């Protein structure tokens, strides 16, 4: 039982720093008596003393349990992940000792929360999830691996990045909208459509909200959305998911140059906001110790020049031959070039044939489009964008050329009938952005529960 003679304890979350500590100098001053709730992240016994590092999602706190607490049944059988409530005095750690935030809780009372102790023995979390475990097992146990420090830091960065995009867009006066996920039109090619039966009709999971964003321009001005996109990718790579978070924006009455400048400004502003956060900026530095925000302007390189670069550096195309104008630049070649140049690249002006039907042609060279891919070292493409065909007849010809029936797109082609305008936009894959920022090997580690070919669990 808790000693009723003790001062009442103040409930704190582990991020709270505005709590009085007992000075390590020990001049008789008392620290605050607090009450904390959390899970046992780590435990260590040293003679009669039990050290528990508590985790509550907001921080870590070292708790010190001496006798008689350390000799209680619950202390002797303590397991990792057990949820506990601990009371005691907050103290500065003695000189030479290390603990999170330089403090520790000298416990005077604790109890295991009603659900009882976390599984121990061979079922202990450390036996099920070990750092060296094989990838598939770790993914099957994603609900447990998420409790780890690296996985949770990536998720904290993700949260901050998403929030920073909202802030950056608000600063640029974009309006947020929420287009549908269940659709009857394709955007990025039939090969990666997830089809399903919609009350007897054919429907798809959306590949991109772009076409819907375009319909918002006339009434809402510039718009953006943060929604899931779905791609039935049939290859297993470290940058392809079947379900990913797509950050898309569409801007009205702009030139291609305006589009590139806006994109660069948003990416840099997001990084500035994230790195300015003392906690999350610190996580980025821990995950990616060499990270320095990119310099502006980003390198701008035309597709045709990239083809020359690849030829000069002897990097072959997918058929093992020398690259030529018109080739798709495959993932491997793209990454070799981006890694060699080692800074963000705006790769622009892709040929009409290898890009989506809706892209505006360059008026000075009709072979190519006003299109851009933003490439980052270590990952490759993280953004795809373009100006959109805004002439009605030209758009209809593009449907024709690509063999897409324009019928179901009446709501899209109507935009070209009622006050069309030069406009453009882009989509950024949040998981790819994070893989770059947090230096993660794969986008799979940058989402909560990754979905890709062969995995839909947990």
Please give the residue ranges that form the binding site for ligand 4AD (CB under 6 A).
Answer: 187-188, 208, 210, 231, 233, 240-241, 244, 246, 248, 381-385, 425-429, 431-432, 443
> Which residue number, 62 or 386, has a Cβ lying nearer to ligand 4AD?
386
CB of 429 to ligand 4AD, least distance (A): 2
Q: Residue for token digits 């935009």?
A: 415
CB of 167 to ligand 4AD, least distance (A): 20
Q: Which is nearer to ligand 4AD, 172 or 233 (CB)?
A: 233
Among residues 244 and 283, whose Cβ is nearest to ligand 4AD? Answer: 244
CB of 265 to ligand 4AD, least distance (A): 17
Least spacing, CB of residue 431 vs ligand 4AD, in Å: 6
**CB under 8 Å to 35, separation ≥6 — which residues?**
9, 10, 11, 12, 85, 86, 87
CB of 223 to ligand 4AD, least distance (A): 11
Nearer to ligand 4AD, 22 or 246 (CB): 246
* Nearer Cβ to ligand 4AD (107/434): 434
| Closest to ligand 4AD by CB, 80 or 240 | 240
> What is the C-alpha separation between 383 and 143, in angstroms, rounded?
29
Q: Which is nearer to ligand 4AD, 145 or 369 (CB)?
A: 369
182-183/175-176 β-pairing: unpaired
How far is Cα of residue 419 from the mean position of the Cα atoms in its chain?
Answer: 37
> If residue 285 lies in a helix (H) or strand (E), which one and from where to where?
helix 278-287
Residue 434 is encoded by which pair of tokens?
Answer: 């994070």
- Give, for 53, the enclosing helix (H) or strand (E): strand 49-55
User: Cβ 169 to ligand 4AD, closest distance in Å?
Assistant: 14
Mutual angle of helices 278-287 and 149-171, in 10-degree steps: 130
Q: What is the DSSP letter of 147?
A: T
Helix (H) or strand (E) holding 250: strand 243-252
Give the separation between CA 386 and CA 430, rounded to whole angstroms: 18
Minimum distance from residue 296 beta carbon to ligand 4AD (Å): 20
* CA contacts within 13 A on the Cβ side of 352: 17
Query: On the CB side of 178, how many CA atoms lie within 13 Å of its CA?
Result: 0
């Amino acid at each position: 039982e808790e000693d009723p003679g003790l001062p009442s304890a103040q409930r704190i979350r582990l991020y709270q720093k505005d709590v009085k500590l007992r000075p390590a100098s020990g001049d008789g001053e008392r620290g605050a008596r607090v009450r904390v709730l959390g899970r046992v992240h780590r435990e260590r016994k040293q003679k009669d003393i039990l050290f528990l590092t508590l985790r509550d999602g907001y921080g870590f706190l070292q708790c010190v349990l001496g006798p008689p607490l350390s000799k209680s049944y619950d202390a002797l059988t303590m397991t990792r992940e057990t949820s506990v409530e601990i009371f005691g005095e907050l103290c500065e750690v003695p000189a030479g000792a290390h603990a999170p935030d330089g403090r520790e809780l000298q416990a005077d009372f604790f109890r295991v929360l009603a659900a009882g102790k976390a599984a121990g023995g061979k079922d202990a979390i450390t036996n099920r999830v070990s750092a060296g475990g094989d990838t598939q097992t770790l993914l099957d146990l994603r609900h447990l691996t998420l409790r780890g420090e690296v996985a949770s830091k990536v998720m904290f960065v993700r949260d901050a990045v998403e929030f920073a995009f909202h802030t950056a867009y608000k600063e640029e006066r974009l309006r947020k909208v929420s287009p549908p996920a269940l659709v009857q039109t394709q955007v990025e090619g039939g090969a990666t459509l997830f089809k399903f039966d919609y009350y007897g009709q054919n429907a798809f999971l959306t590949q991109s909200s772009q076409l819907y964003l375009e319909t918002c321009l006339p009434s809402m001005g510039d718009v953006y959305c943060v929604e899931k996109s779905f791609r039935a990718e049939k290859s297993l790579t470290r940058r392809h998911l079947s379900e990913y978070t797509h950050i898309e924006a569409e801007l009205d009455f702009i030139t291609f140059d305006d589009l590139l400048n806006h994109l660069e400004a948003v990416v840099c502003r997001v990084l500035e906001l994230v790195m300015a956060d003392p906690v999350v900026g610190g996580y980025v530095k821990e995950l990616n110790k060499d990270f320095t925000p990119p310099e502006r302007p980003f390198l701008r390189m035309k597709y045709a020049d990239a083809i020359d670069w690849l030829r000069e550096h002897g990097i072959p195309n997918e058929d093992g031959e020398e690259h030529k104008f018109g080739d798709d630049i495959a993932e491997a070649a793209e990454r070799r070039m981006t890694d060699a140049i080692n800074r963000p690249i705006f790769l622009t002006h892709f040929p009409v044939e290898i890009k989506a039907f809706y892209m505006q042609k360059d008026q000075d060279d009709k072979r190519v489009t006003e299109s851009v891919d933003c490439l980052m070292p270590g990952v490759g493409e993280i953004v795809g964008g373009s100006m959109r065909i805004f002439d009605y007849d030209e758009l209809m010809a593009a449907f024709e050329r690509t063999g897409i029936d324009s019928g179901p797109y009446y709501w899209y082609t109507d935009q070209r009938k009622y006050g069309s305008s030069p406009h453009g936009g882009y989509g950024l894959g949040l998981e790819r952005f994070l893989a770059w920022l947090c230096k993660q090997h794969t986008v799979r580690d940058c989402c909560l529960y990754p979905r890709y070919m062969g995995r839909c669990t947990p």
